[in-house]
Structure 1
């Protein structure tokens, strides 16, 4: 039986394509072959760079690789945790990561950065190029190389890359892939300094520096840039917002440029370097927070539409649906619990509501076994404590 809320749910699921699968193999899609070509080129170039070091510097290369994998797994887990609503298929996430680690890093960025560095040296002299090359090359070359990745994903999965949040999260994985490759490059470079006479010391120092700087690095830059691309292009789920799009594209370029140029800007003054670094980091994190604030209303609107019929049927309450649609709302809802036990139950109910959202997306709104089980779990959780509305009235 059709009702306004069920119709709204169907429209939301159709618009967002939540729950749909990603099929990587698309032989009739020219972008698929472009992806394979550029990523393959990146793998070959990366191999050409690292394979000559596998002998004498083999241990350093192995340690840097292990650290890089562990770091990527930790950051990847965090990004998946932040993906609050229906998560992107893992195959699409891996595709994003591979683009950043291979095509963007080795096929495009390494070549273009080297060419620009040579050009700057010829035009302005080697001293100037040494000071400003990184800040006036990497932000434009690398952000563009990574940003192309979200366009590639749009072409490979047009129904799955729909909202600014999709741009933020997939962009983070593109940036994570790039960061993993770059960290490996810098770590090995540290080990090879001084002809490898102190490769362990150089390796440890490089790894420590990269781990520290990765807090404000490519995942953040690319998340902002790719969200900006989504706003610029527009999708069925995200109306075009040109001003927002341009702002989110320009900000990471500026932040990246300042980050890479802080020594030159500060003129070697240690205190000024720290001030610039701190200010740049605060600005970048603030921009990321604003990007999520901008993206949240669209996502929250779709969450409410999908879960609205559950309110009508008594499975969830209005407050629970509101809490499921945002981190701040969830904290407020959980904090309002009368005691620790109820706050714990409320937290589990919200998690159950999000699981129900995921199951409804996969079943396209139908009552599948997983949907029925998710509803039963919410009912079981609610029975462990007094109903929320009774507590509110008492």
Structure 2
């Protein structure tokens, strides 16, 4: 327990970076560089194949038009999901992997598996029309949601320390589905443009405009909505105690089955019900479901801030933090204010130090909360806690005053105004 103005305490575990328990040494064939190169190579090959298949179906001109139109909603969706992850942001490399997996690997699996299944059904039943309808309503939801869920599963298994909450599941699933929808929109918009060209239109005609309106304007959230249900299942599994193995399996499976069912309902309304059924499902189910999931994601983010406010005072009482810091760290506005103050005082290096301090303090709060729930083993918790406290101590001189000031400036700590008299006495007057 350090004194606020005392010397830096001894860190038996965190003193030597090479000895940190959560960064163990690896053999060459298990190194992160080798795995990263192999993964990037795989995704690059999938990208080349899927984009070549899409260009073959749409033509070069249709491919370019579809690409230009399909990219429009991507930044907005990515920014929305990243906003949800602002409290304890996950690494960008995980999110980029999720997007790339959805755009290239999942899309490639979907287009090949869907085409094979539809051809097999058409051959077996000698009814190509029914095969297309069955493929869109039954086969496509199962194949596509399973392929997208693979990215969430891989991050859940191999990046477990970055997959800690319901919000993490929502964000990773959202990025995966955004990538998948991006590639699928290239195909649909490119084909629509080709139809307009066959009809004699010189540019973007009615078919392309209608497809753009339905897929990009009306329902850019459709695929993210489906896959987020899978992400919620994995997020709830991440919150389950370590001994609840069955819950960790059943929750993701339930989320995946629910995403398949909602996807099938969406496709079936367009395939069998016609425009009226499609708009009815859109208005009566999709929009309320989207609103409910948005509320759930925002509520989860606020719950994370409440966790910080409830856990960090223990470290303030022990002397690691000032009394005002937990209040500032549980407010996104106060965090921004602290970084701005440090930037004006110390420049970019100061703002970066405060940002790192906020990140380590947030991780510390969630680590302690997960240890309380039993999702982190006690020896691992003790070692990682020391490492995080070590990082906080190194940045304390810059970050602590900035956060204390931000807590007062944003009203997290009440400061009596200087211009009021209190029963005839004002201590601020000389």
**TM above 0.5:** yes
Is 1:48 the counterpart of 2:73 in the alignment? Answer: no
Helix, strand or coil: the match of 2:312? Answer: helix
Provide the C-alpha distance between the structure 1 equivalents of 2:412 and 2:360, rounded to a whole number of angstroms. Answer: 24
Is 1:381 the counterpart of 2:406 in the alignment? Answer: yes
Aligned to 1:248: 255
Q: Is contact 1:64–1:207 with CA below 8 Å preserved after alignment?
A: no
Aligned to 2:211: 206
Provide the C-alpha distance between the structure 2 equivalents of 1:164 and 1:244, rounded to a whole number of angstroms. Answer: 12
1:46-125 → structure 2 map (5 Å cutoff): 46-52=50-56, 58-106=60-108, 108-124=109-125, 125=127
**Root mean square deviation of aligned Cα:** 4.2
Q: Is contact 2:309–2:327 with CA below 8 Å preserved after alignment?
A: no
Is 1:307 the counterpart of 2:307 in the alignment? Answer: no
Aligned to 1:364: 388
Is 1:275 the counterpart of 2:280 in the alignment? Answer: yes
Q: Is contact 1:349–1:381 with CA below 8 Å preserved after alignment?
A: yes
Which of the two has higher C-alpha Rg?
A: 2
Q: Is contact 1:100–1:174 with CA below 8 Å preserved after alignment?
A: yes
1:249-264 → structure 2 map (5 Å cutoff): 249-264=256-271
Provide the C-alpha distance between the structure 2 equivalents of 1:2 and 1:36, rounded to a whole number of angstroms. Answer: 45
How has the CA–CA distance of structure 1 residues 351 and 219 changed in structure 2, closer, same or farther, with 3 Å as cutoff? Answer: farther
CA deviation vs aligned residue, 1:162-188 (integer Å, no higher than 9, x gap)? 333222111111111111111111111
1:1-394 → structure 2 map (5 Å cutoff): 1=1, 27-28=29-30, 35-36=39-40, 38-52=42-56, 58-106=60-108, 108-124=109-125, 125-193=127-195, 196=198, 197-198=200-201, 200-201=204-205, 202-232=207-237, 241=247, 244-266=251-273, 268=274, 270-282=275-287, 284-285=289-290, 288-289=293-294, 292=297, 299=304, 303-304=308-309, 307-309=312-314, 311-312=316-317, 313-316=321-324, 324=331, 348=337, 356-360=357-361, 361=363, 364-366=388-390, 367-368=392-393, 370-384=395-409, 388-389=413-414
How has the CA–CA distance of structure 1 residues 158 and 233 changed in structure 2, closer, same or farther, with 3 Å as cutoff? Answer: closer
The number of residues matched between the two structures is 350
Helix, strand or coil: the match of 2:96? Answer: helix
Provide the C-alpha distance between the structure 2 equivalents of 1:371 and 1:64, rounded to a whole number of angstroms. Answer: 51
TM-score, normalised via structure 2 length: 0.66
Provide the C-alpha distance between the structure 2 equivalents of 1:2 and 1:239, rounded to a whole number of angstroms. Answer: 37
Shift of residue 251, structure 1, vs aligned partner: 2.0
Provide the C-alpha distance between the structure 2 equivalents of 1:373 and 1:123, rounded to a whole number of angstroms. Answer: 71
Provide the C-alpha distance between the structure 2 equivalents of 1:77 and 1:285, rounded to a whole number of angstroms. Answer: 17
Provide the C-alpha distance between the structure 2 equivalents of 1:90 and 1:390, rounded to a whole number of angstroms. Answer: 39
How has the CA–CA distance of structure 1 residues 210 and 373 changed in structure 2, closer, same or farther, with 3 Å as cutoff? Answer: farther
Structure 2 residues not aligned, in runs of 5+: 4-21, 342-353, 365-386, 423-430
Q: Is contact 1:35–1:152 with CA below 8 Å preserved after alignment?
A: no
Q: Is contact 1:162–1:237 with CA below 8 Å preserved after alignment?
A: no
Helix, strand or coil: the match of 2:283? Answer: helix
Shift of residue 225, structure 1, vs aligned partner: 0.8
Provide the C-alpha distance between the structure 2 equivalents of 1:293 and 1:65, rounded to a whole number of angstroms. Answer: 31
Q: Is contact 2:47–2:104 with CA below 8 Å preserved after alignment?
A: yes
Helix, strand or coil: the match of 1:159? Answer: helix
